[in-house]
Each structure stands twice: as C-alpha cells, then as structure tokens.
Structure 1
C-alpha cells in the first residue's frame, strides 16, 4: 500500500486535509501533491462537505515547500512538467466552490506559503513563520510573486522575493496574511470553527463569490503559469538550482552529523 501523504477526515460539514510528511516538515514531493489533488477533487464532489480545512502534521510545519531532494535532479523538461502539476493543484484552490481555511501549525515556506495564501482564510499562532525563501535554493519565484502581489502589493513582494526573508506571525498578521491569530493549542479548533461557520453560508452565493475572486485574478494567474514554464526552463537549464540545492542539502547533513 502506498504511503498516505494526505490524511482526510470529515468533521460535520468540514473536510480536514492534513499534509502528512512530518519528518520532512511536510515538504512537497510528487506523491503528496498528487494525493492532495485527489483529496481536493473528492471534497469538491462530496455534497455533504461544505468547507475544507488544510493543515500540516506535527507541530513544526504547515509545509516547508518543495522537497529539494526531489527537485535537485530536475532538468529543463522536468521543470516544465512540474509547473503543469502546480497549475493543476492551484486551480483546485482557485476554482472550487467550497471555502478553504488554512490551519497554520508551523512554518509555511515557498510553495506551501503560496498554498496558504490560496486558501480563503488563515488561522495561525504566534510561533508561525511565513515567507518565500526560494531564492536561497536557486529557485526563481513566479507563482509566488503573482499571489504575493495580489495580496501585498509590489513593494513588499519585491522585498520578500529578493531577500528570501521569513515573516514572523505578528508581521504577517499586520500584512493581512494571517486572518486569525490564536493560541497554539487553539489553531485546529479555531480553524474548524471558522470553516463550520463558512459552511453555514448559502452555498450558491459562496460558489459565486469564489468564482468572482478567481475571475478577478485570472489574467495574472495565467501569466504566472505561462511565464513560469519559460523561467523555470531557463533556470534549470543553467544548473544553478541543482547546484544550490546540493549545497543546501550538504550543509544540512553536516549540521546533523
């Protein structure tokens, strides 16, 4: 039996999905992304589900972003297909009819930060850190710069993209990236309560509101995905991402030795 990288449970009208690679800080690999795609499709098709909560296993991370041990071997062609996989996943967040609440139980970095921002609302505690540190691994930020600019504006997007710095919870809350700031032991219950509240709203109005938000941002999303193919092909063809990832992984291994 294949490993369950995404756990699903139904609580009332809410489907809670848990990214389940805690030993890797819930970093993305292809099987986990594929399982999340399937889980979101199943939740969308289930008429008994009226809202979704997305969280991470353990108490250290919502998600650490891309698993570098996988992407360090990418070439230009694999980078292009990789962008297609992200487009499929991101469209499920954008085009689904049901509201999604992120329960941020720890760090949300890189593509996990982007997924958190694609959720409608985000519940977090004071120890959460969020950001786009992809530049430190030699990965160009394309979808990240699109979603950050939609929420933060260009100046802050440039800051976070070029420095790769992580925001603490208070700064993220001030920026509007965190919707509700609660005690650490209340993150899951507060997220479920918020999702249940949203589940009680009229479903047609909810669907149409989410549809309109997608329409408002569609042009930027399409541009990001098209540009992402071009940019990631160029980046991975240069060899820089692979070299930077190898360097990072070697440094981390040395620290653990």
Structure 2
C-alpha cells in the first residue's frame, strides 16, 4: 500500500509509503490519504494524528510523471486535479484532533504545503523544506497561501520565486519546523508529542481548532480559485510541460 495507517495507543500514524519515489504522490495516493484522515477523525479511540513518510523523505510533492501528461485544453481535468488538493488540505484542516507532522526528510512542493497544515512539525537538521515548483515551470499559488501566515510576505516571495530548499536549522528558525530532534528520533518524538496532545480536554482542543480553521478556510478557497486560473494559463503556454519533461529526461539518464 502506498499510504499506511497504524496505531500507537491513542495516536493514528499515517505514513506515505512510496520511498523509492521520495513519497511523491499521485491522485490515487491522495484519495487514500483523504479516506484515512477521515477515518482517523471519526474514530473515537483516536486522540491525535501523526503524518510522516517512509524512507528518507516526508513527501517530495506531486509525481511529475503524472502532471506532465495534463492536457492544457482539458480544463475540467486540470480543475479536478486542483480540487483534489483542496479536498486533501481540508481533510487535514477539518480534523478536530491535534495533528503532528514527523518531517523525516525532504518536504517539497505540495508535500511541503501538506506538512505546514499540521499543528506542530518535528524534524531533524538534515531535513530540507521548500517550494521548488517554479523550477518546473509550475506557479506556486496554493503554496503562497500555505506559507503566508508562517513566513510573511517577504519570505513567502523568496521561497515562491527562488524555489530554494532550507535545511532543518533554518526551517526551525523560520517557524517551518516547531522543533528539531536527532535524525533517528523524529517519529518517536512526534508520537510522544501527539500522545501528550491527545490527553488534553478534547472539547477545548476541537473548539480551538475550529477557530483556527475559520481563519484559514476562506483564504484557501480563494487560493484554489486562483490556482485554477493561473495553472490554466501556465499549461496553455506549454512551459510546465517542457520543464517537467526536461526534468524527467534528465532523471532517466
């Protein structure tokens, strides 16, 4: 299975399990992830959720082999692809239970955005995080939304336009990571933190998370609408397809 669900006491541990591809996801993976998030949210025995990835990556973002085939004239397919991310992001935000990301390696593109949706993020010094979509000719639109409240305008602009990835120490300093631990301790610390959060009064946690969700919901809706328009214009130019195919040819050598 490309997405796994395990339990550690009151904690549901959801793991992206495609390590040979740095857990880069496909639409099928995201659909399973949405289902597991909803399952964890509905389970009265689950008090908190940990998100992580197998191997040396948290999530490298979208599998470019899938998006390189997008037909620029098929607006319905392009919109459906963006709507899939909207549903995934809302599946995390809609959880009334605490969410901790165990960022065990690279978190890039939409995988980086996914990590930022967690309430807390535990990583190690070797982690690399960022928004490199522009390097593949893809505008970073929902990425701007995900980064804005953490980084502010100046840093969000820098990340969106340069595509650079930062290591763990800088990520912690910028607020992208909540805490740094040793390389082999990330998942254990995330689970420990999740267990601690799961012991808090659940009503107060749910109401607090509900208010946080209210503050982000409209901005996400606006970002998704903007992403549909901007991505349609980008793909119509052919630039993303050219850049992604160049990347895939280079990787195949």
TM-score, scaled relative to structure 2? 0.97
Secondary structure, counterpart of 1:98 in structure 2 = coil
Q: 1:1-257 maps to which residues of 2 (within 5 A)?
A: 4-58=1-55, 60-76=56-72, 77=75, 78-254=77-253
Rounded to whole Å, the distance in 2 between the matches of 1:14 and 1:223 is 32
Rounded to whole Å, the distance in 2 between the matches of 1:44 and 1:236 is 36
Q: Map Cα deviations across residues 196-218 of structure 1 (whole Å, 9 max, x no partner).
A: 00100111111111110111122
Secondary structure, counterpart of 1:122 in structure 2 = strand
Deviation at 1:251, TM superposition (A): 1.2
Rounded to whole Å, the distance in 2 between the matches of 1:173 and 1:198 is 20
Secondary structure, counterpart of 2:107 in structure 1 = strand
Rounded to whole Å, the distance in 1 between the matches of 2:39 and 2:252 is 38
For structure 1, which runs of at least 5 residues remain unmatched after alignment? none
Q: Map Cα deviations across residues 19-50 of structure 1 (whole Å, 9 max, x no partner).
A: 01001000010111111001001001100001
Q: Map Cα deviations across residues 151-210 of structure 1 (whole Å, 9 max, x no partner).
A: 110000000000000011111100011111000111111000000001001111111111
What value does the CA root-mean-square deviation take over the aligned residues? 0.8
Rounded to whole Å, the distance in 2 between the matches of 1:237 and 1:195 is 44
Deviation at 1:147, TM superposition (A): 1.2
Q: Which runs of 4+ in 1 moved over 6 A?
A: none
Secondary structure, counterpart of 1:207 in structure 2 = helix
* Equivalent residue pairs, number: 250
TM-score, scaled relative to structure 1? 0.96
